[in-house]
Amino acid sequence: MNNIVSSKWLLARMYEPDIVIVDCRFLMGKPDAGRELYEASHIPGAVYLDLEKDLSAPVEEHGGRHPLPDNFELTVTLSRVGIGNESRVVAYDDQGGAMASRLWWLLKYLGHEQVFVMDEGFTAWFNAGFPVSSEQKVLIPAKFLATVQHAMLVEMDEVKELLGDERVTLIDSREAPRYRGEVEPLDKAAGHIPGAINRFWKDGLTEAGIWKDTAAQAERFADLDRDRDLIVYCGSGVTATPNVIALQEAGFSKVRLYAGSWSDWISYEGNPVAVGGEEKA
């Protein structure tokens, strides 16, 4: 099933009663900017979910910069904004789909299949002349019951155990200079998990910021063995999620997220760190 929908697809369905549109705009380092943008202008009927307040748990010693929210608390949040088990959820942002993909992954993790990311984002919607509004929707709570898909997630201990295992491929979703350890603007140590390959998440988009089609996504990952288990990570588990989508679009089925990602990995003293280019098997 396609995980990405066009703005025209949403425009044609935005008032259907089972559609819930979620604005996920969020600017790293400016925690209030996303909500302020939403309050100024958004797709009519959209509700707002905040990356750090709603889609992450508070930061602790371990778990990374954006720890996964508590499952029960997340179901309460989803129910509060009107997302029920029968809802078709369409998430959007203005950050290339990274924040919307986080919500997509969380809903899939809770067993909700009918969730999509809107291609291109809010600015493209606005520039197309599609309707926008500053009115906030009256929230009518829905009933959301989770069926947690534990197989979608991997924790640090398992990643550590699997280092060097030829049946597993680790995929680092950050920009190449961060992967190589040349720069690190956000975390206290630079480098990558030993053995990981680098596939920058934004390479899943065209230069115009449109999601690449299935064939192009498959080409990005053509060198990967489809029988291997794939573990995807980034800095804090957010920008890895577009790569999870891209891998699914490309036909890979054995894809898991290391949600704590690099910021969690380096929080454990003694975990090995690699720098430089990709290591060859």
Alpha-carbon distances of 68 from 109, 170, 172, 173, rounded to whole Å: 11, 20, 18, 18
- The two structure tokens encoding residue 61: 């010693």
φ, ψ dihedrals at 202, nearest 5°? -70, -15
Alpha-carbon distances of 87 from 18, 20, 114, 115, rounded to whole Å: 5, 6, 7, 8
Residues recognised as catalytic: 234
Cα pseudo-dihedral 95, 253, 265, 281, rounded to 10: -110
**Tally: H helices and E strands in the chain:** 10, 10
Distance from C-alpha of 236 to C-alpha of 278, rounded to nearest angstrom:
21
Q: Answer for the pair 19, 133: CB distance below 8 angstroms, yes or no.
A: no
